[in-house]
Structure 1
Amino acid sequence: MSVLLLLVAVGEIAAAVAALNLRRLMELAAVGYSEEDAELADRLLLITSVFQVALYVATVVVFIVWFHRVRSNADVFAPGTLERGRGWAIGGWFVPVAGLWIPRGIAVEVWRASRTDPFAPDRHEPHTLVNVWWVGFVVATVFTRYADRAYDDAGTPEQIISAVDRLLVGNGLQIVAAVLAVLFVRRLTHMQHTNASKGAGRTVAV
């Protein structure tokens, strides 16, 4: 899981390189640029786009499988304390608009259940990392969609340069979000491993 998330960050770096190359060409539009440069820019954009999509799909599938597994484990650690059923750990991601907060709520409940004392107040092993990860994910997702629309609507070299600048910001936000996701995954997995090793007779998939 962590490896895939880090590869997503690598994909964003590659996309940023391709975007910077396109931006360079647009800045040369007034004086002209070679056909070879234009073909190279198109090729780089195509390759990085395919790479990004493939990595994103693979990461989403693996992440949701992991998310459902840690949600199932939470029932073993603190039965009866989670409001939403296990199915929401999958379906919650695909609910329009509400998908921007349902998974976060599930993550908080799983975090609480996975602590050394799942019934302690929130100040005991606070879920700060959950909040930071989720804010990073939402901001990166929303801004990237906005940047993609701006790029699709761009026509003139000036508009393309402006749109590419937004794409680059989006790349940076996605890299931060991927790193935060790695920290969240590793921490929660470690918490559940620790709980599983301490609980005699507990059967969990960690």
Structure 2
Amino acid sequence: MSGTRLRSPLLLGRTACALLGLVAVTDLLAIGAGYGVYRTADELAAGTGVGATLSPRAFRADHLYSVAGVLQTVTWLACGVVFVVWLHRVRVNAEVFRPDGHSKARAWVFAGWVVPLANFWFPRRVVLDVWDSSGPLGAPPRHGLVNLWWTLWLVSTGVGRLMADLYASAATGQEFRDAAVQMMAADAVDIAAAALAILLVVRLTRRQQERVLAGPVFVTALG
């Protein structure tokens, strides 16, 4: 492809891994805040009526949960931007290794995450194509890491959004407890997804470095 050249994904990969680590940290904070909601469920329910006020303990639990949610959102957005930029970098590199190895146009590296319905499988397909194109010549593809990461990502994002809605609409102590338990479970899954994403970034970046060293690849720029 005209204008396609190799560029090192190392710095972007390290930044993405650091931000993924921060995502996991904010998830841990959210689990702690969710436990606070669980413990004060009855007090939170008592404060949902007209003219009712939350007890200090319930107010603190609800406030910490809200703060944790904001931190999760901000960190997730920052991480998402860097991760997609890294993915674009390794996708361009993969086109140098194997120009005919990609079933989706380069624009789907970005659009695949936001287009409804397509966002359920297009990003995974993009990553799989990059993974296969960046591997050793003739080696059989192994997709276990990519598939497990993508499965956990779908579960954590889908369940997380649903549980946030359930928490917002909770009116009884049991509903608050149920929402808190399920939110904590979704955050735990998200931590696992973040850990697998770090492993994915590290391994895919390494695959491209090893592919360059193995050759033969025409390199116009790598740095």
What TM-score, normalized by structure 1, do the two folds share? 0.89
**Aligned twin of 2:193:** 177
Contiguous gaps of at least 5 residues in structure 1? none
**Aligned twin of 2:95:** 75
Structure 2 CA distance, aligned partners of 1:35 and 1:155? 15
Does 1:141 pair with 2:157?
Answer: yes
Structure 2 CA distance, aligned partners of 1:158 and 1:3? 37
After superposition, the C-alpha distances for 1:89-120 in whole angstroms (9 at most, x for unaligned) are 11111110111100111111111100011xx3
Distance 1:53 1:95, change over 3 A: same
Name which of structure 1's ranges 190-199 and 95-104 shifts more when overlaid on structure 2: 190-199
Name which of structure 1's ranges 5-14 and 43-52 shifts more when overlaid on structure 2: 43-52
TM-fit CA distance, 1:82:
1.3
Aligned length: 202
Distance 1:25 1:192, change over 3 A: same
Structure 2 CA distance, aligned partners of 1:49 and 1:100? 23
Does 1:102 pair with 2:122?
Answer: yes
TM-fit CA distance, 1:179:
0.7
Structure 2 CA distance, aligned partners of 1:28 and 1:9? 29
Does 1:91 pair with 2:107?
Answer: no
Does 1:201 pair with 2:221?
Answer: no
Does 1:5 pair with 2:5?
Answer: no
Percent identity between matched residues is 35
Are the equivalent residues in 2 in contact too, given 1:196–1:204 (CA < 8 A)?
no
Structure 1 CA distance, aligned partners of 2:185 and 2:159? 8
Does 1:162 pair with 2:182?
Answer: no
TM-fit CA distance, 1:205:
5.9
Are the equivalent residues in 1 in contact too, given 2:149–2:197 (CA < 8 A)?
yes
Does 1:18 pair with 2:33?
Answer: yes
Letter in 2 for 1:149: D
Structure 1 CA distance, aligned partners of 2:45 and 2:171? 15
Are the equivalent residues in 1 in contact too, given 2:112–2:119 (CA < 8 A)?
yes
Does 1:66 pair with 2:66?
Answer: no
**Aligned twin of 2:50:** none
Structure 2 CA distance, aligned partners of 1:174 and 1:11? 10
Structure 2 CA distance, aligned partners of 1:205 and 1:63? 20
Structure 2 CA distance, aligned partners of 1:31 and 1:102? 45
Name which of structure 1's ranges 9-18 and 147-156 shifts more when overlaid on structure 2: 147-156
